[in-house]
Structure 1
Amino acid sequence: MEAHKIKYPALFTSSDNYSIKAQDNFKNLNKWTLVALVVATVLTSLTQENWAIWTSTALILVSAILSTLMLVLKFEKGWYEGRAVAESIKTLCWKFMTGARPFSIDLNETKAQNLLIENFKKVIGHRKDFFTLIGSDFAENEQLPVELMNIRKLSKDERISIYKTERLEKQKKWYTDKTTENKKWTKISFAVIILAQVLAVISLILKIKFEFEFSIAPILVTISTAFIAWLQLRRYQELSQSYLITATELSLIKSKINQVDTESDFSEFVDDSETAISREHTLWLARRDNIELFK
């Protein structure tokens, strides 16, 4: 079968890019805030010389500035709103390409395209503040790529094949990879937390027994606290479970694809699949106190 390129509208590209940048900025601000606090604690624990005190003071000031930037710039909001928009646009495009409701394959080309545009407008209407943030670059690019209509014009079997490989399999792989990645970082984070705490206890015991003047316990406790904060921020455990559940659900849904005989069956199949995908990022948004999402 001839390979068909999947191209999404500029709305998706702009939202996705902005979300990725906002996520990186949010993670970096938090990371360097924690690093600054840990280094400041290390310096004041190792020596009370003036240079260490002044350096620690500067690092704490840097941490305060970074925390203020997080509050003012609201990168987290741009991150999750961008993802919400991008996922909504992607879902609409796949429903359009496959002929799933509300973009029934029986609709003529003009009506189907107009309906898609109307749904894009609804997405924008729900996220006016976000589109103010990303600027007008999306407005200058193509919102109805010809690739969308080309796939829509294919036979049912071809559309089923494309949806299976380009949407379900790729999405399932994304969730599976993310599950593995988050599990890995959960184990690493807990290993560092537990090791730091155990070493801190040993350090305190040795200090009491041998009456050492110096103790690295404050340093280890700070490192442990920083990793706990990072673990809570990144929510590795929570995300790995969420991604695993969605990947499993998609796998189960995908197993029913051979049962699709009619256009109506296919429409229902796509609707179930997209609902499973949408449910994951809807819950993801809800966990960040932003439950309004275009459906």
Structure 2
Amino acid sequence: MNVGLEFPALYISADEASASAQRAFLWTIRVEYFLLFSVSALSSTRDMSGLNPLALTLLLVFLAGLFVLKVYRKLDQDWYRSRALAESVKTSTWRFVMRAHPFQDAASVEQPRAEFRDLLRDILRANQHLSRNLYHSDADQVTASMMDIRGLTLSERKDYYVRNRIDEQRHWYSRKSKENRRAFRAWVVVTIAVYIVAAISINAEQLGLGYAMLAFDPLIVVVTSIIGWIQIKRHSELTASYNLTAHEIGIIRSNADYVKSEDDFSDFVNEAELAFSREHTQWVARRDAS
């Protein structure tokens, strides 16, 4: 069965809102770091360039305004919570199409379909604070592909779930763990390199490098910015978290061989979806705590 699962409109909207808030937040951070570096560089060379202090003052005022915007808009929280909303809808969708609890078979398919719509309504009401970030989507809340997949036999649904949910998520977490490990190591190397250059810069006069010592303050800003970026991205923490989740999914996958009935499959799906939900819940909690 090669039917592609089309998710509800609420998922599409929350997914787009999360991606948009993430881009806005990270670009705000990048601009902030760039302006801090610019202020430091211009201040260090002010005596040589004859720069008007008003230019530095305006940059500092702009930085203050950027800080206020970041605090007021809370783009980071919009990112985390929109992502959590999207994942909540996603895991509920998989439960529905796989006929897992609480969307098992009933006398009429309209009953679990109505229960799914009611669940989406409850999820949306619980996240009303995100309403200004959600985009309108023309997609249905219960799509045709959802109903097509739900209509498959037990064996077909099990194969579809293992291939398109379990294996896909396992691959995703494994790949992200490796990417974060590489990124963390790269930033560590860059940080050490900048520290070394800064150490050379502070001793530039003794080394006969003249104006190279003017680079010391901007380099310290660069190091501080890199450390701040590492803390924001949390590469090391995500490496461990994603790696652990990938292994947990691998263990859960092995249980597919023991699925013999609809009840077995419902328990299997819910165990897997709880693992996915737990990781996202912990991720949002860690982000909010920071």
TM-score where L is the length of structure 2: 0.92
Asked if the contact 2:78–2:130 (Cα under 8 Å) also holds between the matched residues in 1, the reply is yes
Question: Residues 180-231 of structure 1, C-alpha deviation per residue, up to 9 Å, x if partnerless?
Answer: 2222221122112111112222332343566957512222211111101111
Deviation at 1:9, TM superposition (A): 0.5
Question: Larger deviation: 176-185 or 211-220?
Answer: 211-220
Residue number in structure 1 paired with 2:31: 32
Asked if the contact 1:43–1:52 (Cα under 8 Å) also holds between the matched residues in 2, the reply is no
Determine the C-alpha separation between the residues in 2 that align with 1:103 and 1:235.
37
Determine the C-alpha separation between the residues in 2 that align with 1:269 and 1:219.
55
Asked if the contact 1:15–1:134 (Cα under 8 Å) also holds between the matched residues in 2, the reply is yes
The answer for unaligned runs of 5 or more in structure 2 is none
The yes-or-no answer on 1:278 pairing with 2:272 is no
Determine the C-alpha separation between the residues in 2 that align with 1:115 and 1:33.
46
Determine the C-alpha separation between the residues in 2 that align with 1:186 and 1:236.
5
Q: Which of 146, 149, 152 does residue 150 from structure 2 map onto?
A: 152
The yes-or-no answer on 1:117 pairing with 2:117 is yes
Give the 3 Å change call, closer, same or farther, for CA 189–58 of structure 1 in structure 2.
farther
Asked if the contact 1:97–1:148 (Cα under 8 Å) also holds between the matched residues in 2, the reply is yes
Question: Larger deviation: 198-207 or 179-188?
Answer: 198-207
Give the 3 Å change call, closer, same or farther, for CA 100–15 of structure 1 in structure 2.
same
Question: Larger deviation: 213-222 or 231-240?
Answer: 213-222
Give the 3 Å change call, closer, same or farther, for CA 213–165 of structure 1 in structure 2.
closer
Question: Residues 12-40 of structure 1, C-alpha deviation per residue, up to 9 Å, x if partnerless?
Answer: 00010011001000000011100110122
Determine the C-alpha separation between the residues in 2 that align with 1:263 and 1:27.
45
Residue number in structure 1 paired with 2:43: 44
Asked if the contact 2:204–2:211 (Cα under 8 Å) also holds between the matched residues in 1, the reply is no
Question: Residues 101-148 of structure 1, C-alpha deviation per residue, up to 9 Å, x if partnerless?
Answer: 11113463011101111111221121011124326x24x541111211
Instruction: Supply the AA of the counterpart residue of 2:223.
Output: S
Residue number in structure 2 paired with 1:76: 76
Determine the C-alpha separation between the residues in 2 that align with 1:210 and 1:8.
65
Instruction: Supply the AA of the counterpart residue of 2:64.
Output: A
Question: Larger deviation: 53-62 or 98-107?
Answer: 53-62
Instruction: Supply the AA of the counterpart residue of 1:183.
Output: R
Determine the C-alpha separation between the residues in 2 that align with 1:221 and 1:52.
23
Question: Residues 57-78 of structure 1, C-alpha deviation per residue, up to 9 Å, x if partnerless?
Answer: 3333332222222112221122
Q: Identity percentage over the alignment? A: 30
Question: Larger deviation: 146-155 or 106-115?
Answer: 106-115
Residue number in structure 2 paired with 1:264: 263
Determine the C-alpha separation between the residues in 2 that align with 1:241 and 1:125.
34
Instruction: Supply the AA of the counterpart residue of 2:275.
Output: A
Instruction: Supply the AA of the counterpart residue of 1:180.
Output: K
Give the 3 Å change call, closer, same or farther, for CA 266–107 of structure 1 in structure 2.
farther
Residue number in structure 2 paired with 1:99: 99
Residue number in structure 2 paired with 1:201: 199
- Matched residue SS, 1:87: helix
Asked if the contact 1:99–1:267 (Cα under 8 Å) also holds between the matched residues in 2, the reply is yes
Question: Residues 214-263 of structure 1, C-alpha deviation per residue, up to 9 Å, x if partnerless?
Answer: 51222221111110111111111112221111111111211221221111
Residue number in structure 2 paired with 1:293: none
Instruction: Supply the AA of the counterpart residue of 1:248.
Output: H
Residue number in structure 2 paired with 1:253: 252
Matches within 5 A, 1:201-240: 201-208=199-206, 215=213, 216-240=215-239
Higher relative contact order (CA 8 A, sep 6+): 2
Matches within 5 A, 1:121-200: 121-134=121-134, 137-138=136-137, 141-200=139-198
Asked if the contact 2:18–2:82 (Cα under 8 Å) also holds between the matched residues in 1, the reply is yes
Question: Larger deviation: 51-60 or 271-280?
Answer: 51-60
Instruction: Supply the AA of the counterpart residue of 1:276.
Output: A
